[in-house]
Amino acid sequence: MMLKGPRPPCAKTRRSSALTPKIGAVSSIPVVYPAPSPATAFRNASRPTLLAPAAAVSESPAELSKEQPVRGFGKRLAAVDVEQPDVASLVSCRFIVPHHVTKPGQQLFLSGSSPALGEWDPARAVPMEWQEGHNHVAVVRLPASRLVQAKLVLMENGRPVYTEEGNARDLMLLPSGVSQQPGASLNSMDEDSTPPPATPAAAAGQLDYQIMCHVGNTEATQILRLPVVLPAKDPSDRRVLCKFVVMLDGIKLEPRQYPVVVGSAPEMGAWNAGEGIKLMRQVGGYWTRRVELPLYEGSGDIQAKVVICNADGTAAVWEPGTTNRVLTACRAAAGSAAMHIFVCRWSQPGHTPTVCVPVQHEDASKEFVKQLDAAQKEIGMMRQAVTAKSRQVQSLESELAAVRRSERAMRDEVSALRSELGAFAAEAEAAAKAEVEARREVTALGEQLARVEENYERQVNFLAAKLEEMEREMFSLQDQLANSSSSAQSVHNQPAGYGSGSSSNGNGNGSGRPATRASWR
C-alpha cells in the first residue's frame, strides 16, 4: 500500500549541510559523485523497475571509472575527489524494511547525510532491493563514531513521490571490533547485545549492523550489532531464539495496560492471555521481547495473536481479525543458528514479516575459563567496592562523631532550657498563688464594702426619718409660736414694764426669730 502525501526533498537545501567536495584531495574514493546539478541529474535519470542486489558502497576508483554509470541512474558521471573517512572506520550495515507493498514502477531508496547515502540528494540515494514478502534490503558501508542521519524515499518511475515526515533517523555506530562499554547503548538499540570478539578487518561480506526501518516511523528504528553472541547452549535444546517487535498503530492504551503475545505454544501461554509473553515498551513507541520457541524442522508452525491486557493480567482487547499470525522458521536459517525477528503490526494478523539474524553460541569448553575470568573480575570489583566502602565507613564515622558532639551540645542546651522552663514554671505557680490570694482579698474587701455601704444606708435612712420627725415637731412648734405671737401682741398693747422684762418667741432661744431646720442643726 503506497503512502500518500508526497513531499519531494529539496536537493539544493539539503546539499548545503552536506560535506563540501574538495578538488584534488588525496584519498581513496569509495563513491563517484555526479558533476551536474543534482536536480538536473535526478530529473533526467531513468531508473529501471527491477533492481540488482544492493552492493556495498566501497568500490575503489579502479572499479568505478569516470565513464561508468553509477547505480543504474543512466548518467555518465565525472569523478570528484571528496573527503572521506578512513576505510578502517567504515562499518557494513544492512538496512531492511519489513513488509512494505509497492506498486509496479515504485521503489524504496535510502537517503541521508553521509556521502554513502547521497548527502540528501535523491539522485544519489541508495536503492533498496525488493525481496520476497515485500521486504526491502540495502547494504551500505557507513562511517563509525560519527552521527549519520537517514530517511526513506519512495520513487516512482525515477521521481520521488514520498519522503518520510518528522525527524531523520540518527545513527551512531561503533567501529568494528570495539567493545561496547557497560552502561553505553547504541542509538535506538532496544536490546543490548554482546559484541563479537575483535577480528582483523572485517571479512568480505561480513555485516556489522542490521538496521530495521519502518516506513513513516523514523523513531521506531531497531539497530542490532552483528553477529549476536549468546551463551553456550545445550545441543539437545532445539528451541530457537525469537524476538517480537509489536507496533500498536493508532491504539491508545489505558494506564497500566500492556500488550502480550499469546499463541499455541506452551511458551506463549497456550492461548491464555495471563500466561502470554509480556512485552516491554521501547523509546520509539514500539514493544519488544525475546523468547525461545520450538521453531525447528518437524515442529510445525506456531499460531499467535497480540492481546492488550489490564494490570491484573486479564485480556482487555484481542487483536481483530479471524485469522491468526503464523510463525514459521526462516528458510535461510535451516541448519544454522539464527534469531527470528517477527514484526507484528496491530490489526494485521495476516502479515507477520520475519527477519533472520545470525547468532553465535559460545564454546562450552571455554565456559570454565570464562567463569574464572568473570570471577577474577568480580573479585577485583569487590575489592574496589570494599575499599570504597571502607572509605565511606571512615567518613561516616567522622560524621557520626561530629553528630554525637552536636548531640551532646544539644542535650546540654536542652537541659539548660529545661531548668529555665522549671524556673519559669515555679514563677508562674507563685504568680498563680498570689493571684488567688489577691482574688480572695478583693472578695473580702468587696464583702466588707458591701457591709459598710449597707450600714451607711441604714444610718442615712435613720437620720432621714429623724429629720422628718424633727421637721414635723418644728412645724408644730411654729404653729405654737404663731399662736403665742397673737397672744403676745395683745400683751404688747399693755403698758411698758408690764409682764416679764425679756421678750421671747416661745421657742426658748430668746432671739425672737422663728426656729428653722438650720437653726436646729
E runs forming strands in 185-299? 209-214, 217-225, 228-230, 240-247, 258-263, 277-278, 280-281, 287-293
Environment class of residue 88 by beta-carbon count within 10 Å: exposed (0-12), middle (13-18) or buried (19+)?
A: exposed
pLDDT computed for residue 338 by the predictor: 86
CA distance 294 to 238: 7
Task: Count Cβ neighbours within 10 Å for each residue of 477-513 and write b for 16 or more, e otherwise.
Answer: bbeebeeeeeebeeeeeeeeeeeeeeeebbbeeeeee
> Confidence class of residue 253 from pLDDT cuts 50, 70 and 90?
very high
Percent of the chain with pLDDT over 90: 48
Domain ranges in the chain? Answer: 1-11+27-178+185-196+203-226, 233-359
**Average pLDDT of every residue of the chain:** 77
Tens of pLDDT, residues 92-115: 999 999 989 999 999 999 999 999
The pTM for the full model equals 0.53
Residue among 111, 116, 113, 213 at smallest CA distance from 154: 111
Q: Is-contact 148 174, C-beta < 8 A?
A: no
> Confidence class of residue 256 from pLDDT cuts 50, 70 and 90?
very high
Residue type, 115: P
Highest CATH level, class, for 233-359? mainly beta
Over residues 414-425, the mean pLDDT reads 93
Question: Which strand (E) or helix (H) includes residue 122?
Answer: none
CA distance 11 to 366: 54
Tens of pLDDT, residues 128-166: 999 988 999 999 999 999 999 999 999 999 899 999 999
Q: Tell me: domain 1-11+27-178+185-196+203-226, CATH 2.60.40.10, correct? A: yes
CA distance 407 to 413: 10
Tens of pLDDT, residues 43-73: 344 333 333 333 333 333 333 333 333 333 3
pLDDT computed for residue 493 by the predictor: 64
Can you name the residues that pair with 476 across neighbouring β-strands? none
Q: How many CB atoms are closer than 10 A to CB 361?
A: 15
Tens of pLDDT, residues 344-401: 999 888 888 888 888 888 776 666 677 778 888 889 899 999 999 999 999 999 999 9
Provide the 3-class DSSP secondary structure of residue 98. Answer: coil
> Confidence class of residue 196 from pLDDT cuts 50, 70 and 90?
low
Tens of pLDDT, residues 277-332: 999 999 888 999 999 998 877 777 899 999 999 999 999 999 998 889 999 887 75
> Confidence class of residue 89 from pLDDT cuts 50, 70 and 90?
confident
CA distance 495 to 489: 12
335 has a pLDDT exceeding 80: no
